[in-house]
Structure 1
Amino acid sequence: MAKLSYLYPAVVFLFLYLLIASHEIARAEAGICQRRSKTWSGFCGNSGNCDRQCRNWEGATHGACHAQFPGFACFCYFRC
């Protein structure tokens, strides 16, 4: 039983580290919001074109093509 006593602080440290890390990740993700482009129509096959349109026409930070039933759509990313 005495051999396992060194394991307790390591487990507590690991738990606290994961708790803090998950909080930081959630905060970073909360700063970016995504929505389907309002100016793009049709199939989105080139993320470069989607990115350009999102930045130039919608004032987004960037854009990309993502799968959405029944095909691919252009999604723009904004700061929340």
Structure 2
Amino acid sequence: MTKSFTLVALLCICFLLHSPTAEAKICQRYSQTWSGRCTETSHCDRQCINWEDARHGACHEDKRGRACFCYFNCKN
């Protein structure tokens, strides 16, 4: 089930980044409120939206392990 959430999250991100109607570019950063390993993208997504006013959140592998990343409209 986690793989399907990750796939949906990645597809949403790709759509937002490549959508011709998108006015703002999307910027990624580590979640400022998440602690520990990120195992459920749906939980990361909910926390990024509700706690950090992000458009989206997702778990991704990086050099630290699985981390929660939040996605925002880039500031000009």
TM range (shorter): 0.5 to 0.7
Q: Could you tell me the TM-score, scaled by structure 2's length? A: 0.65
Mark the runs of 5 or more structure 2 residues left unpaired by the alignment.
1-17
How far residue 70 of structure 1 moved from its aligned partner, in angstroms, is: 3.1
The corresponding residue for 2:50 is 56
Matched to 2:39, the amino acid is G
**Structure 1 segments (4+ residues) deviating >4 Å:** none
Query: Would you say how many aligned residue pairs link Structure 1 and Structure 2?
Result: 54
Deviations 1:29-51 (A, max 9, x none): x7000000000000000000000
Q: Which has the higher helix share?
A: 1
Name the SS of the counterpart of 2:54 in structure 1.
Answer: coil
Deviations 1:14-72 (A, max 9, x none): xxxxxxxxxxx5x96x7000000000000000000000000000000000000012310
Q: Could you tell me the TM-score, scaled by structure 1's length? A: 0.62
Relative contact order (C-alpha < 8 Å, sep 6+): which is higher? 2
Once the two structures are superposed, the pairs formed by residues 6-21 of structure 1 within 5 Å of their partners are none
